[in-house]
Amino acid sequence: MKEKLPKHVKLVPLGSLLAYCQRGKQPDYSAEGFPVLNSKHILESRISFQENRHAKPNPVPIFQIQCGDMLINGTGRGTVGRAAPYLISEHHAIPDNHVTILRTSTLDPAYLSFYLNSLAGKLQVEKYQRGSSGQLELYPFDIRKFQVWDAPSSIQREIRTLYDQATECEKRSRELLDQAKSRVEQLIEEAVQA
């Protein structure tokens, strides 16, 4: 991969840019608490909050998912290696034991998720995944070996701006769909009462 890159694009081991790279532990599930994120919640460059269970917060905050973290799915066939930024400042979340938290002050989490979900990232997932038929695993010590482009800040900011714009458009789209659904329900109710 390195041989075909322009000279100004230098790849470095991801581990050299990480302050934290750790898989979650089995959560202490409860009726209330923080949402738990597992393999099915980590999609390509976005997080799903559908059908989350909840867990008690870990007494050690570093083990909880924080705004600015990047998450990577560490298990599964066809889903291993999916990466998404966690950019929710309102609350933390809890990773289960199939989700790895990557924390860095050097790389923007949106940029990193797009990089890891690109062909360059997927090839490295294939190289470092372990296991045979059934369950594939991607461990933190292997994720640290990934070669990434520590892109200039201007490029990372550009990617983040596009990500933020797309997220806002997606949110607005959901709001419009909810409005349309409510209006249809209102019209049906009015028609029934007439």
Residue 60: burial class (beta carbons within 10 Å; 0-12, 13-18, 19+): exposed
CA dihedral defined by 155, 160, 98, 119, rounded to 10 degrees? Answer: -40
Q: What distances in angstroms separate CA 77 from CA 41, 99, 132, one per listed residue?
A: 15, 14, 10
Q: H-type helices in 26-152, by residue range?
A: 109-117, 119-128, 140-143
What confidence tier does 20 reach under pLDDT thresholds 50, 70, 90? very high
Among left, alpha and beta (phi > 0; psi -120 to 50; other), residue 51 is left
- Residue 88 has a CB neighbour count (10 Å cut-off) of 16
Supply the pLDDT for residue 133: 64
Q: Is domain 11-149 in CATH 3.90.220.20, yes or no?
A: yes
pLDDT at 109 over 80: yes
Pair of tokens at residue 114: 């797009």
pLDDT at 106 over 90: yes
* Pair 136, 189: CB distance under 8 Å: no
- Whole-angstrom Cα Rg for the chain: 19
Q: What is the pTM of this model?
A: 0.86
Supply the pLDDT for residue 4: 66
What confidence tier does 76 reach under pLDDT thresholds 50, 70, 90? confident
pLDDT in tens, 145-171: 999 999 999 999 999 999 999 999 988
Mean pLDDT of the 168-177 span: 91
Beta bridge partners of 137: 75, 130
**Amino acid identity, residue 95?**
P
